[in-house]
Structure 1
Amino acid sequence: MRLSALLIISLTFTAAAVVSLVAANFSVKLIEETSEIGVRDALDDNAMTWAEVQADGLQVTLSGIAPTEAIRFRALTTAGSIVDAARVIDEMEVEAQAALAAPRFSAEVLRNDSGITIVGLAPTSTDRVANVKRFTEVVGDAEVTDLLGAADYPAPPGWEEALAFAVSAITQLPQATASVEAGHVSITAISDSPEAKAAIEAKLRRAAPPNLTLVMDIAAPRPVITPFALRFGIDENGARFDACSADTEEARIRILATGTRAGVTGTARCTVGLGVPSPNWGKAVTQAIEAVQRLEGGSVTFADADITLVALPGADQALFDRVVGELETSLPEVFALKAKLPKVEDPNAGPPEFTATLSPEGQVQLRGRVSDQTLRELADSYAKARFGSDKVYTAARIAENLPGDWTPRVLTGLEALAALNNGAVTVTPDSLSVTGNTGNPDASTEIASLLSDKLGEGADYTIDVAYQEKLDPVLGLPTPDECEAEIGEVLKVGKINFEPGSATIDASALGTMDDIAEILKRCGDLPLEIQGHTDSQGRESMNLALSQSRAESVLNELRARRVLTGSFNAQGYGEATPIADNKTEAGREANRRIEFKLIRPDTVAVPEETTLESIAESGDTPEASDAEGTSDEQN
């Protein structure tokens, strides 16, 4: 009995243990499924379907790739709201962030007499060595400073083209700054004259790549105005400047402001130039304009220090006397005033007349009589087309009983006026007269042919046109051959000598360089080669290198004198082309020379044996030992 009881108790405990174990396993599975399903549903509800959920006992593991760190943290928070946060295992990853944006690549290239400096940030792919080498070739002994940083990013579209264009432009401009960005170049420079400015701008535009945005600010010296002229008037059509000159920017602003107060509308032009007769020009002009305004009409004309004030016909005599008297006493010294009060005349008195005047500044005035509104508009349009829409002032009035051929006579007169630099055309029923000045020596003949053709044979016309050399656009511009010969004559009188054994021009030759620079400025754009030559003393390789350095030194001296050298080339020929016997001191002195030669299609090439490359190939380098003595002191 006792054994049976023990057996029964043992079986009972075993059964209880089995039941407990089964119940525990069931509970764990239930918790795993409940946790996994709950967390997964919560993540799906929050649009985090990328997250993977796996329950293992009481632990819940989150995996997957979160778009951002913030979303990964939000997934952990969401899971922690369903199960105890301590039970959540984070095995999630975060997508790689986008690569950092490339820096803004830009460069500033500055050139002046001391050399060239380039500063900025460029991609590592930019060939900085090549750019510095090219700059060094251009400036010679002057300094090239490379302050260009580098960043390991791909070059943006248009960067390499923009930088290459800026480098090329700077090599052609002795005084300039180029600002470079991808697809954009801004150039600021100084030119010798308005003509040189126009040539530089045209050349750079032609050379610019198609997709490059080019901005240019080319400054030119102020023009010389002779005579220093200004004309201001007020009539029934309002106030205007027919011509305006100023000696400073401040004077220009002051003059235009006074004109605006007197009634000038729109944008008036006033040229700032050289040649003013007095530093009180601006004061005198503003006083004269105010006088015309007080007279309620008329005109004032300045030609250097001579002032002519003309009131409107019929102006009040007492007012005229008072205004003129006050102006005479207040004008600065040097200025002389001549005042006139015209009498009122019958507009129909005398023969009908049409006049067109062209001032030295290019301003055109059309006055007198026209047959109808159509002719007035036609004459105005024709004049604006020939002289510029902003330079034509029309004050012609419509009159009756004019000849039937009045229209072709007026238009022919305007066409003749276009052949002058300044002057006037007067049309009457019986005649047509052309007077003025021109820089075209054939102008009189051309005008006569025009009038004969348009007015018919037997037409009565007079031509009084004076040819003035100073107006001739090609006067004094020698041909390229004449330029070459003229420089040669200068070199016969004053040789370009150098300090012994160096490429430094001797002080005694600086006057010769000045004379050559003046000739080249008049000659314009020449294909010119500056040649350096030596005697035969010393090693051939050293002579060749020295002649090259001296030719480049001359080129740099010309640039320092503001000569445009874009079409020039410096070339050393060493001892290869003697002009005298190297066995005598006089012959060696003659062979040590600088020559200026036009580059012609049939220019003889440099002999192969005199090139640096051929010398290097032969082993006769400057560094090679040579038993022969050198004559640097003579060369």
Structure 2
Amino acid sequence: MRLPYFLAASLIFLVSASLSLVAAGYAVTKVEEASELAVRRALDLKGHDWAEVESDGLRVVLTGIAIDEATRFNALTAAGTEVDTSRVIDDMQVAPTRQLAAPRFSAEILRNDSGISIIGLIPASQDRSELIERLRRMDGDTVSDLMETADYPIPEGWDDALNYALEALTRLPRAKISASPGLVKITAIADSLREKERLEQSLTRAAPPSLRIGLSISAPRPVITPFTLRYLIDANGGQFDACSAQNEKARDAIVAAAKEAGLAGPFNCTIGLGVPSPRWPEAATLSIRALSKIGQGSVTISDADITLVAAQGTEAGVFDRVVGELENALPEVFALHAVLPEPETAESTGPPEFSTTRSPEGLVQMRGRLSNETSRDMADSFARAAFGSEQVYTATRIASDLPADWPVRVLAGLEALSLLHNGALTVTPDDVSLSGVSYDPDAKARIAGLLSEKLGDAKGFTLSITYQEPPKPADSLPDPELCEDQLAEVQASSKIAFEPGSATVAADSRDTVNQIAEILRECGPIRIEIQGHTDSQGREEMNQQLSQARAQSILNELRGRRIPTSSYSAVGYGETQPIADNDTEAGREENRRIEFRLIRPEPIANSETGLEALEAETETSEDAADTGAGDQ
């Protein structure tokens, strides 16, 4: 039976329509997938992995949050390179604009003889009047306030830095201090090397443990007046009583000449200012060599005056020849006075003498001869002024046959004796002899300069002065480096151990912690970092947390033993700083440890100020932060 024509046509139409719809749907799906894949690839190549792509028919919908408008537009452009821009639907959003970053707060304080100046940017909430008042209490009213303010919260570490900077300034009459959050850099001038060391130690102890500090304290060369050199040769060889030079090259030349002349034992040659002539080293080396040719005796140079005294018994012909050669060779500015002592005769009697002794307890006894009552009163008054009225005992007598310059020689000797801790002075017509002990390493050179200036040419003096380290006060604190070494020694013999996998100190390590506590109690307020370390077993994050907990546990143990820990900090380093091989059990045992390390000042480059260093460091960290933000 044949279908009617109408029904057959209708059936064919329906079948054709269905096939067309299926083909169209398949084609649309393929177009959607191809468009989505192409757009996603283009976005990934441009670094826009934050953007999401979704196809909707022929449309491509972009979603996601761009960090700024420029990034959003760049993503839209990248999508338009793959499909027609009319098909791209922009549903992306832009992240809200972040609050403007706080400025870098910093203050630079300059203190000198003219007063104090402070410049920089500080938080508006800072008590500015109180800050200026603290500066005025240091230096009267001569404070120049050049600060600006910004209305932002006070950053972490700012108060500690500023308070420490002000505390340091009280100890430094000439300094530049740069303070910023968590960082203080100090550039200062000390009066001497000893003062420099004292300041470095006290400033390091005073800093909070969380504060980074940089110290650059210099000690200028001293002004030597008179500029003095004294070299002696006797039966035991040569030695310096005093040695001065204007620079290292001059010092090396003088010392080389002295070694050729038989220099024996230790010596000290001070480099300083005040040289009377650039040709000082030439005059010094010529004089030392001339003395060596004579044999024994002494040569003293005080500024431009040279006194050469030969030993008694020196052959006159040799003396005249050497002195003549020296006079002709010396630079013009220098004047030579040469002395050849007269030989002793059988009829010689003991010379008149004045003597003074100073005991280690400070008691002074004066005996011997003085010219007249005026001279005796003068010597007694001078001694009481120099040594203390209650410390002086005078038992001198008047003699009329003394040299005219006797009072000058006595007073010069007493002044030199006052520079010693204890010693003995003997004055004769031909010599001023001083022996004793000093706590000042430069005392011998200072005394030689003093006597050569006071006594003048052709007047001999003999020095036998020993330097001793001054005894430390009973309540003085040991050096921080010594404390660090002692802590390491305790750990080397008995290591601090913990319960497995915990921060609890093992019972058999309690005695070790007690020993460490005793050392730290004696050391006082030093800046110590208690470091925790682990081996590499386990996850890195867990190891870091365990090391931090163990370092904090030791800090708590010390607090429990009443050790002041305000200058201590506890830091865990995890497995990042091994000292042995983590592939062996013995190595892993060594890596599981607690260390006590001094927090030392950072060096300051001479070519940059503290603020310049801070800005360079901050710019580097900001660049790194910006790079990280762009990768998100």
Give the number of the structure whose alpha-carbon radius of gyration is greater. Answer: 1
By relative contact order (CA 8 Å, sep 6+), the higher-ranking structure is 2
- TM-score, normalised relative to structure 2: 0.39
Given the two structures, how large is their TM-score scaled by the length of structure 1?
0.39
